[in-house]
Structure 1
Amino acid sequence: MSLKRKTISGLKWTSLSSIFTAGISFLQLIILARILGPEVYGIMAILMVIIGFANLFVDLGISRIIIHKQDNITQNELHSMYWMNVFLALFMYLVIYLLSPFIAHFYANIQNLEIYIRLIAVTFIFSSFAMQYVVLFQKEMEFKVIEVANMIKVLANFLIALFLALNDFGVLALIYSTILSSLLYSIIIVFKGMKYHKIKFYFNFSEIKDAMKFGLYFSGSKIIGSITGSLDVILIGKFFSQEVLGVYNIGKKLIFQILSIMMPIIQKIIYPLLGKLQQNRDKLKIIYIKVISIISFIVIPVYFLFFILADDIVFIFLGSDWINASNIIKGFVIYAIFVAIGTPIGSLLTATGKVKIGFYWNIYSLIVSFLVVYLSVNSGNINYVPIGYSVLVVLNLIVNYLFVIKKVIDTTFFEYYKNIFLNIFIGLIVSSFVYLIKYKFTSSLFTIIIIYIIYIVLYLILVYLINNNIFKYIKEIKN
């Protein structure tokens, strides 16, 4: 199958999986949030930060070199990398097991946290057995297996969690469903992967030194990025109640729901594609600018609509107990837009072997993000946290261009941001008009649908009149 056909097939399966996953996740969120309440979601937010952070140590970015090196990798190297992932997973489980009492002490207001941590930590042992197979499928742009397995995992997670929640398991409903669905996913991936590549027990550390060196920068960047992205949950969980953290986390989840659709498509399709174009820098630059322009075209109206309809969305889907989450949604809008647009940067850096740049950028982001979150949390007003993030991301536009983008692709500031700023300008015009007419409607699901249709129609018309290059880019990418 040609690269073009593989890209189209991959786009189809990742799009289907992402839409399905987002739909089931949203359904799970609005149903279980009403059953379990803010406190449970506050506890779960802390657990997912701990496990997400530990998961990064399991791989250390080792498997990513498979895509970077393409076919210049031996079977013995693959075997050694596979078992290194498993060894790291077992080691990290031991570390988390031993650290769990100290973490529980840090969050002294959460009962049984030590037990919860030790339970859910089992998931990254399961994931380590499937990790390399996932990367091999990505390398060959064979996304059907990955996405079907992911859809089964998401559906199983929802059904198990719903059953347990209805039977008064509380936070354990979310923990057990996460464990069981993770096991199911790994079994499917390994079973299908064994048909293409059989792993044997062979390990030689000297054969994976290059992978370790590459992986340490990649993983170091991811680890620092994970800490940066979790600072808010870590500090809010320490200084605010579980209920406040639960409301904050759900608001954040809702605003980033679109990223749960966009990010898998971007990362799974764009990374292998950029990897194959890494030697042709001129073409790489053109493709990359078109990709981020298309992303901005898609996400800007979605996030501006989130801002306009935040109160209605929270009240209708979650109920009055969660109404404060609407302020979190509004505060995160600008931040979420630029996070979505910046998502392919990681794939660009990894595909071109520039992981060191990403590593240093994430160190900078960690420092400034900590200052923003710390000052926001200490204000005593939880609503200042997302606003602080949004202000920071705007200030970072020039810094990111000078120290990351310009070093990887030779482009001017205007060329890079032109279509993004045009789409934001168009979005603001449409938002102002829609915001004024919104109050002519009563709050209901029907209102949300009507406002959505009006906004999208006006937005498409103005994009066509002011920035119709976007439609050309979509056609070129498609072809």
Structure 2
Amino acid sequence: MLAKKALLTFGTKGSSLIFGFAVTFFVARSLGPERYGIMGFALAFTGFFTALGELGFASAHLKRISENKNIGRCIGTFFSIRGILIALLLTVSLLVIYFIKKFGNGFETKTHEIVIYIFLASLVFKNIVTTITLTFDGKLETAKSQLVEFVMMFTNAVLSIFIAIIMPSIILLAGAILVSAVVALTVALYLFRGYPVERPTSDSVKSYVSFAAPLAAVAVIRPFYYYLDTLLIQAFNSSKDVGYYYGAQKLPNFILLISDAVLTILLAAVSQFYTKGDMGAMRELCKKAERYLSLIVSPLVMFLIVFAKPVIEILLGSQYLSSVPIMRFLLLQALFLTIGRPASVLIVGIGRNKLYALEAILEFPLMIIFYFILIPKSLFGVKMFGYGTQGAALTLMLMSFIGFTASKIIAFKLAGVKLNKRIFFHSLVALLSCAGVSAAANVLSFNSLMFLPLFFVITCVIYFGALWFTRQINISDIDFFNRMCNVKDMKNYVKAELKMRGTN
């Protein structure tokens, strides 16, 4: 059943990939790098405040719900805490904007400011949506949470493409994101009917706070990982460079959605196994998650690295070719983050969140040092490397590798989960397969962009064929995917879950 839940989430993320491609294709071309960069900057600016709406309580809610605690009490506690956090997010962000305008240089243009306000409103609605969907995820009711996400993505895609074609406007495109969040909230509230909500007690609040407190530091640091690079590029370079960087982030971010597909499911499952004392099942689950993520992601990452130039031309247009080297670094970052996430989830799932937080805190100053050495040309009169956008991407790649290594070591020390050396073999085979297809295409002069989908299919055939020949995959893997992809079973599962109502 966990496999079907994961597949359903993969399906939603796959839809997100398709919608995202379509939106990026039309929006990036209609706006151009400079105006596209304004959207990227506004997203990064508001993204810095996301931590205030979370502060580790999302993981706490998933943990407590998955432990089969009093569901109504858990929901009431989380909703109360989240309401306070959303109010805090809104208050702090508006104060920061006020001080920037009052005592700083303000924003580069009025458009920057308007888009920031719209994104801030979207952020509030999205926080309310996730307050509900996290309850679905904690109860492993994946169909409900994925339906909400699908509705939000579909609404945004339709509105954004329409605006990009008919009347390309940054403000209207930002408004499309806001409208999609409101529509998603409506669907989430409908699916939430029948769930019990009880008044929180001091004990329930303490339970959430005790789990979330160590993770709060990680939540505060996380926006720096996601958004500081964009803000520094805006500070040391220009909106046009932000546009190149924002465009380069699209495909790597879509790949990270694949690991997101199993993240919440895996955390809930690991927590359940740990609560039952079944360490063997917990270890096996994490090993399988890591292996299958590597099998799926490796050929995709390597193909995009080898064929980065034509992919950028198709997705963003020739005006974004400066995004090519940036995207290659970010793709490697996505690979390390994806295959390292099962280990990170295990650390949190067994309640060692303080250790997980310590890892993030220790890595944070190193990331800041890399940023200020690699991005600016000079700092306080001292000459730096001045790699700009590529320096930011290189920093993220290095930090993801360091984080992957640290998480694997901690997971081994805590639960005996060894490093699966096969994942490196997967990447090597994928790279060689892509390189071979690229070389053959050059020799045969098949350089047209229309051949790119065919090249990917051939690459996958060579990749999986080589893994079969070297016995890295076998008939049991094929059976696993066949069972997971059974359409009839999936249809019955989704129908049954959507009919369910929350119970104690």
Fold shared per TM-score above 0.5: yes
**1:266–1:224 Cα change, 3 Å:** same
Matched residue, 2:138: 139
Aligned-partner Cα distance in 2 for 1:343–1:411: 13
In the alignment, what sits opposite 2:394?
Answer: 387
Task: Tell me if 1:32 matches 2:39.
Answer: no
User: Aligned with 1:75: secondary structure?
Assistant: helix
TM-score normalised by length of structure 2? 0.85
Cα 1:76–1:268 change in 2 (3 A) is: closer
Kindly, what percent of the aligned residue pairs are identical? 18
1:64 aligns with 2:59: yes
Structure-2 residue corresponding to 1:21 = 16
Cα distance, 1:285 vs structure 2:
1.4
Q: How far does the alpha carbon of each residue in 1:300-333 deviate from its partner, in whole angstroms, 9 at most, with x for none?
A: 1111100111111111332221111112122333
Where do residues 348-387 of structure 1 align in structure 2 (5 Å cutoff)? 348-378=346-376, 379-381=385-387, 382-387=389-394
**Are 2:297 and 1:272 equivalent residues in the alignment?**
no
Q: 1:306 to 1:102 in 2, by over 3 A?
A: farther
Match for 1:421 among 412, 421, 424? 424
Q: What residue ranges of structure 1 are gaps of 5+ in the alignment?
A: none
How do 1:35-46 and structure 2 match up within 5 A?
35-46=30-41
State the distance in 1 between where 2:278 and 2:131 align. 27
Do 2:24 and 2:315's aligned partners in 1 also have CA atoms closer than 8 Å?
A: no
Superposition pairs of residues 63-82 of structure 1, within 5 angstroms:
63-69=58-64, 70-73=67-70, 75-82=72-79
Q: Match for residue 100 of structure 1?
A: 97
Matched with 2:437 is 434
Amino acid across the alignment from 2:57:
I
Contact 1:40/1:170, CA 8 A, preserved across alignment? no
Distance 1:429 1:167, change over 3 A: closer
1:116-127 correspondence to structure 2 within 5 Å: 116-127=115-126
Tell me the CA shift for residue 72 of structure 1: 2.1
Cα separation, 2, equivalents of 1:227 and 1:108 = 20
Count of aligned positions: 467
Which of 47, 70, 84 is the equivalent residue of 2:42? Answer: 47
- Per-residue CA deviations over 1:262-293 (Å, capped at 9, x if unaligned) read 13321132222222212212221122122111
Shift of 1:157: 0.9
1:467/1:57 CA distance change after superposition, 3 Å? farther
Q: Normalising by structure 1, report the TM-score.
A: 0.89
Residue of structure 2 equivalent to 1:291 = 289
Residues in 2 aligned to 1:186 and 1:98: alpha-carbon distance in whole angstroms: 26
> Contact between 1:290 and 1:473, CA under 8 Å: does it hold in 2?
no
- What secondary structure is seen at the aligned counterpart in 2 of 1:417? coil
Distance in 2 (CA, whole Å) between partners of 1:207 and 1:38 is 49
Q: Give the SS at the match of 1:367.
A: helix
Measured in 2, the distance between the counterparts of 1:388 and 1:163 equals: 36
Structure 2 counterpart of 1:156, which letter?
T
Once the 2 structures are TM-superposed, how far is the Cα of residue 30 of structure 1 from its aligned partner? Answer: 0.6
Change (3 A) 1:83 1:173: same
| Aligned CA distance change for structure 1 residues 428 and 159 (closer, same or farther; 3 Å) | closer
- Equivalent residue letter for 1:387: L
Residues 129 and 190 in structure 1, CA contact (< 8 A), matched pair in contact too: no
SS class of match (1:468): coil
Q: What residue is the counterpart of 1:211 in the other structure?
A: 208
- CA RMSD after TM alignment: 2.5
CA distance in 1, matches of 2:205, 2:390: 47
| 1:68 and 1:350 in contact (8 A); partners too | no
Match of 1:447 in 2: 451
| Higher alpha-carbon deviation: 26-35 or 440-449 | 440-449
Q: Structure 1 458/76 Cα, relative in aligned 2: closer, same or farther at 3 Å?
A: closer
CA contact (8 A) 2:47 2:227 kept: no
Can you list the C-alpha shifts for 1:330-352, whole angstroms capped at 9, x where unaligned?
23332221111112334222321
State the one-letter code of the partner of 1:269: I
Tell me which amino acid in the other structure corresponds to 2:233.
I
Q: 1:50 to 1:467 in 2, by over 3 A?
A: farther
Q: What SS is found at the alignment partner of 1:141?
A: coil
Match of 2:247 in 1: 250
Structure 2 Cα separation of the partners of residues 158 and 384 of structure 1:
31
Report SS of the residue matched to 2:375.
Answer: helix
Supply the distance in 2 between the matched residues of 1:20 and 1:205 (Cα, whole angstroms). Answer: 42
- The answer as to 2:415 corresponding to 1:409 is yes
Letter in 2 for 1:72: K
Indicate if the aligned counterparts of 2:37 and 2:243 stay in contact, CA closer than 8 A.
yes
Return the alpha-carbon distance in structure 2 between the equivalents of residues 470 and 230 of structure 1: 41
**Contact 2:215 2:353 (C-alpha < 8 Å) held by counterparts:** yes
- Shifted more, 26-35 versus 425-434: the winner is 425-434
Contact kept, 8 Å, 2:63 with 2:349, in 1: the verdict is yes
Per-residue deviation, 1:23: 0.6
Amino acid at match of 2:313: F
Q: Unpaired segments of 5 or more residues in structure 2?
A: 377-384, 485-504
> CA distance change for structure 1 residues 286 and 106 in 2, over 3 Å: closer, same or farther?
farther
Q: Mark the CA change 1:417 to 1:74 in structure 2 (over 3 Å): closer, same or farther.
A: closer
Matched-pair contact (CA < 8 Å) for 2:233–2:375: yes
Residue aligned with 2:420, SS: helix
* Match status 1:345 vs 2:343: yes
Q: 1:389 to 1:203 in 2, by over 3 A?
A: closer
